[in-house]
Structure 1
């Protein structure tokens, strides 16, 4: 049985992860890491003082000593996750991260720690299998259609922009695309930000509106044609298969993996 601790269990992604893991025959949630509620329990989507359900801990070291988890699934925020993952690696707990917004410096540090400890970890900007395939297909297409714009759309409670998925998509495309400026060479931006963020000449546009969940389209232009690759997440249940895949795979690794595309053939 794979023993999982969840950081961020009270959030939207945390509740989705709890549902996925609870329904898996080879996994169990043994603890929750939180910044409060020490000594309390999570039961039926509520915090209770009754000793039923999943125990809360504010210290990962105490959590590890009491429950010996194999995995720390972190779906909190970038400010907390970096510290959590560093401590998890030091404690010999495999980190699986579903939080976007980590910097390249953070990723480099965590990768070094993971390799030194020979302890596998997975950081997934997106747990949706469909979204990962969208990124892979976009990188394939960018070999032939190198003028690219990325439009990502999320709910208005999302903190980071651009999204981790958009950044990861651009990173994958950068590997196959020659850097160049797109559009008219004398283009003028009369309103700051109108052309979006610039990544080696590619543009990323972020939309935040109520009613959206997680959506992205990649536009690839060529002479007389346009290829659009789009993915839509309408329900957080679409993240469940990717969460379970990452938890099962991470124990077989001895380094940090950035992106589920690296474990999907």
Structure 2
């Protein structure tokens, strides 16, 4: 049984994780603590599964010390994530982290410390199986399709643009020769931004619920491929999150997974 401390317990993904631990994952994982802005609330009530007798910690560090988890799962915010990760390093904890918005440069010092301390972390932008499969296809298709464009769709409450998922898709699509776009912008930014040379446009609209979508267009002369991945609830991330949590506990010390591809295929 793997004891889990959950940071970001009241978010959409956090609530889904609590529900999963109480149902489909109850034979492998146990929830021992959590932290979010709703201090002293019962984690089960927050997630809609009824009282669990586990209260939200007043501070992240206090919760980590008191609950003595085997692993932290963190789906908080880019704004506080680096401070959180410093605490996980300080207390020598393995971690599964959702990393919307952090760059490779920001993560590099944490990766070095994880290796140095012999910990096991996954810091992955998207735990959805759909994005994992699409990413594999993009890498293969780009050998033949030189043009690529990504539209990143989230609600207007999304903290950052682009999403970490869009950045990861762009990185996967950046390998290989890029097609030349001859159009010149007459209004700044109308062609979107560039991530590793890949065109990315972020849309932020009042979509209902925890919606997220990513549309990838690949093109060569006379042929276009369009792929759309749309997620309507946070439940779709649970397979990837708990598969990753299991993988971490089986992995040699000093690993730092950055994609679901690495988790699935190493």
Change (3 A) 1:45 1:148: same
Give the match for residue 206 of structure 1.
202
Match of 1:30 among 29, 32, 39: 32
Give the match for residue 176 of structure 2.
177
The 5 Å alignment of 1:1-265 reads: 1-23=1-23, 24=25, 25-34=27-36, 37=39, 41-45=42-46, 53-174=53-174, 176-178=175-177, 180=178, 182-184=180-182, 187-211=183-207, 213-253=211-251, 254-265=254-265
Decide whether the 8 Å contact of 1:182 with 1:201 is kept in 2.
Answer: no
Per-residue CA deviation, residues 50-100 of structure 1 (Å, 9 max, x unaligned), is x95222224444323321101111111012111111211221211111230
1:103, distance to aligned residue in structure 2 (A): 2.4
> How many Å separate the matches in 1 of 2:230 and 2:88?
32
Change (3 A) 1:27 1:134: same
Give the alignment's Cα RMSD to 1 decimal: 2.0
> How many Å separate the matches in 2 of 1:98 and 1:16?
14
> How many Å separate the matches in 2 of 1:123 and 1:18?
20
Q: Which runs of 5+ in 1 are unaligned?
A: none
1:46, distance to aligned residue in structure 2 (A): 7.5
Q: How many corresponding residue pairs?
A: 257
> How many Å separate the matches in 1 of 2:58 and 2:36?
5
Decide whether the 8 Å contact of 2:146 with 2:179 is kept in 1.
Answer: no
> How many Å separate the matches in 2 of 1:12 and 1:54?
18
Decide whether the 8 Å contact of 1:111 with 1:256 is kept in 2.
Answer: yes
> How many Å separate the matches in 2 of 1:109 and 1:93?
16
Q: Which runs of 5+ in 2 are unaligned?
A: none
Per-residue CA deviation, residues 97-130 of structure 1 (Å, 9 max, x unaligned), is 1230112222101100110011110012111111
55-64 or 115-124: which moved more?
Answer: 55-64
> How many Å separate the matches in 1 of 2:66 and 2:195?
45
Change (3 A) 1:202 1:46: closer
TM-score (norm 1): 0.90
Decide whether the 8 Å contact of 1:181 with 1:201 is kept in 2.
Answer: no
1:40, distance to aligned residue in structure 2 (A): 5.1
Per-residue CA deviation, residues 119-151 of structure 1 (Å, 9 max, x unaligned), is 110012111111111122112111211211111
